[in-house]
């Protein structure tokens, strides 16, 4: 226990000394530090902050030291997280390599692959994207058709991916490909390759919110060395499912990672836009809706905490990743719908002097939130998973 207290003090002192003041202010989406070969850092401070954290391995605190990670125990990692939150430190690096590929490589990759890729993820040298969905393989992901044909020393990859997040800015891709047409789930393999390979091209997709975080990605006779196969041939579906769990965990916390939701909490926003009467939100009906939403959010966070404690105590965890994905994203959508109700006419702008920066941002974020319950498996798919895996209802 004393050791942990020492660790807390040392960590606090180190963060105090090394985290630039500008990295302790609330961040916008465009401030996210993704890393990568050609990444344009939003500021010199952002670059410095990432570099000194990466040098300690604290961009991936619990990963083993031999792969560039921090080698921290989960108790120490929690302390680091708490101290960063206390000082208001921004995440030094955010990437799909850290949240998704890394954990999968740790479990399924061979030694050479771990040594090759993990340190570059920790340092933010390589930015990864995920090649999963295809035009005819959305919710029915296992229906994917992008093929990888064995050509002796390499695979020849042909196909068309969609909803590839930031493919146009990514350096490498982890990709699901079909290596056997005779078996649906059992004919999928997990490949890694460089986006600069000949035959790879991307096209951004503009969303209803106006932003373009996703791309279509095309592969035309792309040669991928056989060493880049992760796990066994045709074992890709197992890896994909595990990775999806990490992704769902990430998405379900989307609305909660930033408690301000990119602005004032609902209640103070409502007081500002709707006025007060005797210290209460003047609109009594919306006041009730806001309170009910806050109570449910509280219950959701308590459930995340309970699941963590149950796992730690070695008890079987009742709530599943699918439940968190379902509830977290539906809750986030509800939050933005409430914000739109509070903003009223102010929430209806696209551009123009009549709207504040916050009004316009809220509108765009409301539109973007609609994707939360679609990406990473739709809400309907999550409910199917709960019904089948947890409740044991028949097909």
Partner 1 sequence: MSMVLNEEQIATQDAAKKLIQAHSPVSALRQLRDEKNEQGYDEFLWQQMIVLGWPAILIPEEFGGLELSPSFLSVILEESGRTLTCSPLWSSSLFATYLLVHSADSPARTKALNAMATGKHLVSVAMEEKARHAPYDINTRLTGDAELTLTGQKHFVINGHIADQFIVSACNAKNELMLVLVDQDQPGIIVERNWMVDSHNSATVTFDQVTVSADQMIKNNNLKALFDNALDVARLGLSAEMLGTATEAFERTLAYLKEREQFGAIIGSFQGLKHRAALMFSELELAKSTVREGFAALDNPNTDSTKLARLASIAKAQLSETLHLISNEAVQMHGGIGMTDEHEIGFFLKRARVLEQLLGDEVFHTDRFASISGY
Annotate each residue in 22-61 with x if it binds partner 1 (CB under 8 A) or - if it does not, as one string: ----------------------------------------
C-alpha to C-alpha distance for 228 and 174, rounded to whole angstroms: 10
- Select 286 or 360, whichever has its Cβ closest to partner 1: 286
Q: Residue 75: which of 1, 171, 176, 158 has the closest Cα? A: 1
Question: Does 318 contact partner 1 by CB under 8 A?
Answer: yes
* Least distance in angstroms from the C-beta of 310 to partner 1: 6
* Least distance in angstroms from the C-beta of 293 to partner 1: 10
Helix axes 321-343, 284-312, angle to 10 degrees: 160
The tokens describing 7, both together, are 């660790």
Q: Using CB under 8 A, count the residues that bind partner 1.
A: 43
Among 190, 327, 336, 355, contact with partner 1 (rule: CB under 8 A): 327
Question: Does 391 contact partner 1 by CB under 8 A?
Answer: yes
C-alpha to C-alpha distance for 31 and 157, rounded to whole angstroms: 35
Express the helix, strand and coil content of the chain in percent, nearest 5 each. 55, 15, 30
* Least distance in angstroms from the C-beta of 339 to partner 1: 15
Q: Residue 260: which of 168, 367, 366, 335 has the closest Cα? A: 335
Question: Does 343 contact partner 1 by CB under 8 A?
Answer: no
* Least distance in angstroms from the C-beta of 359 to partner 1: 21
Burial letters 50-82, b for 16+ CB under 10 A, else e: bebbbebbbbbbbbeeebbbbbbeeebeebbee
Number of alpha carbons in the 13 Å side-chain half-sphere of residue 191: 28
Question: Does 267 contact partner 1 by CB under 8 A?
Answer: yes
- What does R_g of the chain's alpha carbons equal in angstroms? 22
Hey, which residues between 361 and 380 contact partner 1 (CB under 8 A)?
Answer: 380
- Select 93 or 381, whichever has its Cβ closest to partner 1: 381
* Least distance in angstroms from the C-beta of 250 to partner 1: 19
Q: Where does residue 205 rank: exposed (0-12), middle (13-18), buried (19+ CB within 10 A)?
A: middle
Strands 200-205 vs 214-225: parallel, antiparallel or unpaired: antiparallel
Question: Does 112 contact partner 1 by CB under 8 A?
Answer: no
C-alpha to C-alpha distance for 279 and 141, rounded to whole angstroms: 51
Among 149, 302, 344, 354, contact with partner 1 (rule: CB under 8 A): 302
* Least distance in angstroms from the C-beta of 263 to partner 1: 16
Hey, which residues between 270 and 299 contact partner 1 (CB under 8 A)?
Answer: 270-271, 279-281, 287-288, 290-292, 294-296, 298-299
Among 205, 319, 360, 367, contact with partner 1 (rule: CB under 8 A): 319
Q: Which residues bind partner 1 (CB under 8 A)?
A: 267-268, 270-271, 279-281, 287-288, 290-292, 294-296, 298-300, 302-303, 305-306, 309-310, 313, 315, 318-319, 323, 326-327, 380, 382-384, 386-387, 390-395
């Amino acid at each position: 226990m004393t050791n942990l207290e020492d660790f807390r003090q040392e960590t606090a002192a180190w963060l105090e000394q090394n985290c630039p003041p500008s990295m302790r202010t609330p961040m916008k989406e465009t401030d996210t530090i993704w890393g990568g070969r050609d990444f344009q850092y939003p500021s010199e401070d952002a670059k410095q902050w990432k570099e000194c954290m990466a040098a300690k391995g604290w961009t991936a605190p619990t990963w083993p030291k031999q792969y560039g990670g921090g080698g921290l125990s989960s108790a120490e990692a929690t302390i680091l997280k708490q101290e960063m939150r206390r000082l208001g430190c921004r995440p030094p690096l955010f990437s799909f390599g850290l949240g998704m590929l890394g954990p999968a490589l740790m479990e399924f990759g061979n030694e050479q692959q771990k040594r090759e890729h993990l340190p570059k993820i920790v340092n933010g040298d390589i930015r990864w994207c995920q090649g999963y969905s295809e035009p005819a393989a959305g919710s029915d992901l296992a229906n994917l058709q992008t093929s990888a044909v064995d050509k002796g020393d390499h695979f020849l990859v042909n196909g068309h991916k969609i909803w590839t997040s930031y493919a146009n800015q990514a350096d490498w891709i982890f990709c699901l490909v079909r290596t056997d047409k005779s078996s649906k789930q059992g004919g999928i393999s997990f490949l890694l390759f460089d986006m600069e390979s000949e035959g790879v091209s991307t096209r951004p997709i503009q969303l209803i919110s106006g932003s373009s975080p996703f791309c279509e990605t095309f592969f035309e006779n792309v040669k991928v060395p056989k060493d880049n196969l992760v796990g066994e041939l045709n074992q890709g579906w197992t890896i994909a499912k595990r990775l999806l769990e990490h992704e769902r965990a990430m998405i379900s916390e989307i609305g909660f990672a930033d408690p301000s939701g990119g602005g004032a909490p609902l209640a103070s926003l409502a007081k500002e836009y709707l006025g007060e009467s005797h210290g209460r939100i003047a609109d009594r009906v919306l006041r009730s809706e806001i309170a009910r939403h806050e109570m449910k959010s509280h219950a959701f966070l308590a459930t995340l905490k309970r699941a963590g404690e149950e796992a730690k105590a070695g008890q079987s965890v009742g709530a599943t990743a699918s439940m968190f994905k379902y509830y977290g994203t539906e809750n986030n959508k509800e939050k933005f719908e409430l914000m739109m109700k509070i903003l009223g006419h102010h929430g209806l702008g696209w551009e123009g002097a009549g709207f504040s920066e916050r009004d316009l941002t809220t509108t765009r974020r409301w539109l973007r939130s609609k994707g939360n319950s679609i990406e990473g498996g739709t809400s309907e798919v999550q409910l199917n998973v709960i019904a089948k895996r947890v409740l044991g209802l028949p097909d």
